[in-house]
Structure 1
Amino acid sequence: MSPWLETSKESFERAWAFAEAMGQKPVETQDTPGFILNYFLIPFNNDAIRLVEQGVAEPADIDLAIKTALGYPMGPLELLDLVGMDTQKLLCEAMHGLTHEPRAACPPLVRRMIAARRLGKKTGRGFHVYSDTKMFGA
C-alpha cells in the first residue's frame, strides 16, 4: 500500500520537485495529525507552558534557555504570544482529540489566560508584555 493513499508516485514526485524549485526543503511524512512540525511543536509548547504553571522558571528565562541551548530564534513562550493563546487552545483540542497524546492536552493556564484576555501580542499581554500590538511590523 502506498503511503500517499490516493496520490500517485508521479504526482508526489512533481510536488516534491515543485517545492524544491521554490527553494524549499520538502520532507516525506505520513498523512498524520500535525504531520511532523505540529506533532512535535504543540506538546513542546505545552511543556513550556507547564513549566510556567508549575513555577519552574519565569517565561523570559524559559525563552532564553531554549534560544541559547537549541539556537532557536524565538523562545516557545514568545512564539505562543505571537500565535495567540486562543489559537494554541484550538490546536491543543484538535491534536489531543486526534492523537490522545497527554502532552497535547490544553494546559489549564491557557484557558485562564484566555479568560483574562491575555492572548499574547495581539492584546498587548500574554506571557510577556507588549507596547506594540502590530504583527510583523504592519
Structure 2
Amino acid sequence: MTVPERVGVYGGGRMGAGIAHAFALAGADVSVIEGSEETAGAARERIAASLAKAAEKGVEARGRAAVGVDARALADCTLVVEAVPELPDLKREVLERIAVAAPEAAIGSNTSSLSIDGLAGALDDPSRLIGLHFFNPVPVSDLVEIVVGARTADELVGRARGWVEGLGKTAITVRDSPGFASSRLGVALALEAMRMLDEGVASAEDIDTAMTLGYRHPAGPLRTTDIVGLDVRLAIAEHLEQELGPRFAPPRVLRDKVAAGQLGRKTGQGFYAW
C-alpha cells in the first residue's frame, strides 16, 4: 500500500514533526501548519534535523515537508492529521479549521486518549474523522493505533490501514473508548509503578528493570513516562479517572513532579535525570 501524495499535519511539535517525517520518508509531500512564524521556525528546524539524521543512516526522504502558518496550504490534501496538545477545546478548534481549509480531506486525530466521537462534534461530517494514534518517537515506532468512532466511515478504516502499511508500520484497530487500548494499558502500568515508588517498594531503576528483563519490555514504565512526558501522562490519567473511576487516579508523586516542572526528558528531569 502507499501513502497519499499530499498530506497535511496541523501542529509541528515533537509528535507533529515525527508524523511529517514518517510521511515524507514514505513519499508524501507534507504541509505542516503552525500557529505563528516563531513556532513554524522551530517546527521547520525540528523536521529538518530529523530528516537529516535519517539521511545519515542512509534513509532518504522520497517526499518533502514544508512548514507554514496558512491553513489554505491544506486545500488539496487527501489526509490531514491534527497533532496539537491533548486539550479537547483546542483539538475541536483545530478540527474545525481543517474541515474548512481541506473540505475533501479525511481527517486524522493523533489523540492518545480523547473520545473520537466527542471530537467529531466539531465537524459537519463526522464520517471524515478517524483516530490515528502515533507513538513517540514516531520515526522509529512500529505501531499506529486506529481508533474508529461510531460515525467513522467504514471505507475510511480500510484506507487508514493502507496508509499505515505504506508508512512501514503496523496498525491495530480499536473501538472508540476511554484510553483506547494502548494508553489505557500503558497508563495503568505506569501509575502502579509510581505507587510502588511512592511506597518505597523499589527504586525507579529496579522497577523498570523488573519489566525490561522480567517481561521483555523495551523500556520500563517510569522511563517510558519520562519519554512520553509526565504532563501528558497526568492529563491522560485525569481523563481516565473521570471516565473509568479511581483506579486511574494520578499518584501524588506524578502531580508533584509536574507541578515542579519535572516533565521528563524534554525538561531534563523526571523520574530520571536526562
Report the TM range for the smaller structure's normalisation.
0.7 to 0.9
Q: CA deviation at 1:5?
A: 2.3
- Contact 1:46 1:103 (C-alpha < 8 Å) held by counterparts: no
The residue aligned with 1:78 is 223
The residue aligned with 1:110 is 254
**Percent identity for Structure 1 against Structure 2:** 33
The residue aligned with 1:60 is 205
Structure 2: give runs of 5+ residues left out of the alignment.
Answer: 1-147
> Which structure: greater helix fraction?
1
The residue aligned with 1:135 is none
Q: CA deviation at 1:4?
A: 4.7
Q: CA deviation at 1:92?
A: 1.0
Aligned partner of 1:92 among 225, 229, 237: 237
Distance in 1 of aligned mates of 2:272 and 2:244: 30
Runs of 4+ that moved beyond 4 A: none
- Contact 2:179 2:236 (C-alpha < 8 Å) held by counterparts: no
Q: CA deviation at 1:86?
A: 2.0
TM superposition score normalised by structure 1: 0.80
From the superposition, tell whether residues 8 and 45 of structure 1 become closer, same or farther in structure 2 (CA, over 3 Å): same
Q: Which amino acid aligns with 2:174?
A: T
Question: 1:39-54 residue pairs with structure 2 within 5 A?
Answer: 39-54=184-199
Distance in 1 of aligned mates of 2:214 and 2:243: 31
| Count of matched residue pairs | 127
Distance in 2 of aligned mates of 1:89 and 1:32: 18
Residues 44-81 of structure 1, C-alpha deviation per residue, up to 9 Å, x if partnerless?
11011011011110000011111101212211111112
Give the SS at the match of 1:49. helix
RMSD of aligned alpha carbons: 1.9
Q: Which amino acid aligns with 1:112?
A: D
**1:119 equivalent in alignment to 2:244:** no
